[in-house]
Amino acid sequence: MNDICRNTHEHWMRLALEQAKLAREIDEVPIGAVLVDSASNELIAAAYNRPVSENDPTAHAELVVLRQASQSRNNYRLPGTTLYVTIEPCTMCVGALMHARISAVVFGAREPRAGAIVSQQELTKANYFNHRLSFEEGILADECGSIMQEFFQSKRTKNE
């Protein structure tokens, strides 16, 4: 990856990390996501996890950002976009990304228990989808992983 591409990825991932911090502030699992127009490199939407606060099991950061972007674009299809998300998406989120026709996903840290791109499943390689989604992983992985580890460590400490 060239320096310009890495700098761009890091810029957007830092914004996704800011969203993750907003989730943490309201005691949600700290995952953040931003959706960017791939051609113009402009922000379309930004969101964070909120299933607990919204009483909505589908309110993962990725799905919230897709809802916002679909509303702003007045279209449920979002081709030509790149999703930046702090943690590897789950099965539900990858399915939604495929249906929305997202072009690419860039994620920070792997999700070893439920990741559906490389960790537990490789849904981007599934031949039953009629859309292909490229991905890149490891952008600011340490920061993305640390915010999750710190969150769950603080939960364990409170419960001791």
Catalytically annotated residues: 62
Indicate the pairing of strand 42-48 with strand 32-37: antiparallel
Distance CA 68, CA 160 (A): 39
Nearest to 58 by CA among 83, 87, 92: 92
Where is 42: in which H helix or E strand?
strand 42-48
- Listed in sequence order, the residues at least 6 apart from 92 whose beta carbon sits closer than 8 Å to its beta carbon are 58, 60, 63
Distance CA 61, CA 31 (A): 6
